[in-house]
Amino acid sequence: MGGVRMTLYFASILPGLEYVLLDEMNQKVSEVEIIQIKRGKVFFTTSSIDTCLHALRSADNLFQVLDQFQLGPHKKHLSQLSGRIASLDLKDMDHNSLFWINASRKGKQTYSRYELAWAAAEGIQRHYPNWSLGTNRDNQVEFRVDLEHQNLIFSLRLTDPTFRYRNQVRQFSRAALRPTVAHSMVWLSDPKSTDIFVDPCCGSGTILSERTAYPVNQIHGGDISESVTRIAKHNLEHTKVKINVWDARELPLSTNFVDKVVTNLPFGKQISIDEDLGLFYRYVMNEIARVLKPRGRAVILLGNFQQLHVEVNRLGMVCLEAYPLSLKGLHPTLMVLEKQ
């Protein structure tokens, strides 16, 4: 007898962090089999999808794969897409649904991603004439079409738009990280219940908020901007996180006091500082190295890998891992460091 066919899912994540999500899945989801890892996606099967929906904090969204097939590169082939989707049985969904379709494509096709989405929508409405096409902001059901060369995946989004923002109304400062990226950084710090944890450039407190998801001894954060720290205090008002106005170049913390430092250092044009960036990195890294305990860990997101690498070598720290990312049109690096 053949085995029961397992439902295929995928989680989307910021490109470059796929293996961080993989590690989180393996540690949090008891019955999961990783099928494939692609840029920005981790495909898997599990009998515990509810656990994934509640426990995975690095994933931007979760999707159920409904169909996979080959599609040709010319406009005449779009009718095949419509026909294939019209044949799918979506009986478990509300047949008066307001739906939306997002589409992406990679390769040399003669049609656009918008035409790809319209062809898919036509297939749905052919089978379910009572369904209406909504918008990307106003829908009850959202599908996704991803075409890579001739390989097409048609999927259903399981998470709503607030999933990646923790279903919370938050205030964000300029250049704030998505919570999912902040969580990936926290995860790479290897959180322990005994940690004294610090974000010296905390902004609106997204990294600090993600650290509160796990048991911890103390959490401290600060920023040089009074207005920004007010936002962080508002976002973290129901926690025990300590927020201060401070200068990351001169931290009011004792030497060898901290177990973990996780921070997003200024980079790119989204934020400015009052001195040369290389000099700023030098002063901040001096302080991070000073306050960290021996074998303490620092997870740092920054724009100039080479500049920070010079400081890491100067301070005798060790780079355990480095993750090149693609974020807001920029290409920063996420570094995991250890103090010797």
Contact between 261 and 296 under an 8 Å Cβ cutoff? The reply is yes
**Segment 146-165 mean pLDDT:** 92
Please, what is the average pLDDT of the chain?
Answer: 91
Radius of gyration of the chain (CA): 23
> E strands along 216-257, which residues?
218-223, 242-245
DSSP state of 75: G
Closest CA to 172 of 328, 19, 14: 328
**159 pLDDT higher than 50:** yes
The string of DSSP codes covering 293-311 is EEEEEEEEEES-HHHHHHH
pLDDT digits 0-9 by tens, 170-216:
666 666 789 999 999 999 999 999 999 999 999 999 999 999 999 99
Helix axes 113-127, 78-86, angle to 10 degrees: 30
pLDDT digits 0-9 by tens, 61-106:
999 999 999 999 999 999 999 999 999 988 667 656 899 999 999 9
pLDDT digits 0-9 by tens, 107-135:
999 999 999 999 999 999 999 898 999 99
**314 pLDDT higher than 60:** yes
* Ordered structural domains, the chain, with CATH: 8-163 (3.30.2130.30), 168-338 (3.40.50.150)
> E strands along 19-108, which residues?
32-38, 41-46, 61-70, 98-106
The whole model's pTM is what? Answer: 0.91
Given 3-state DSSP classes, what are the helix, strand and coil percentages for the chain, each rounded to the nearest 5?
30, 30, 40
